[in-house]
Amino acid sequence: MIARRLIVAGRVQGVNFRGWVRERAAARGVRGWAGNEPDGTVEVWLQGEPDAVAAVERAVREGPAHARVERVDAQDVAPREDLDGFARR
């Protein structure tokens, strides 16, 4: 199991970006969350099997048609034991 923390910049708030990420994560069995940040970015925490996390990260980097992803800052992080499912924060 691996975990990745992404900070997604662009037109990603107010366009259902978090719900879109949640759908992709749930379809792959990836746990974590997507939450709006005060600076207009969205923080995404992805945790699960390496292939599944990579697939969701690739989707996040493209984004849905109604959003505009300009930049994704990503880092490997330590997996958490307290995650159950994928939350929209």
Active site residue 18: yes
Active site residue 36: yes
Phi, psi angles (nearest 5°) of residue 31: -100, 165
Residues 6 or more apart whose CB falls under 8 angstroms from that of 61 comprise: 69, 72
* Residue of 4, 18, 22, 24 marked catalytic: 18
The span from the CA of 87 to the CA of 76, in Å, is 19
* Residue of 5, 11, 16, 36 marked catalytic: 36
Instruction: List, by residue number, the catalytic residues.
Output: 18, 36
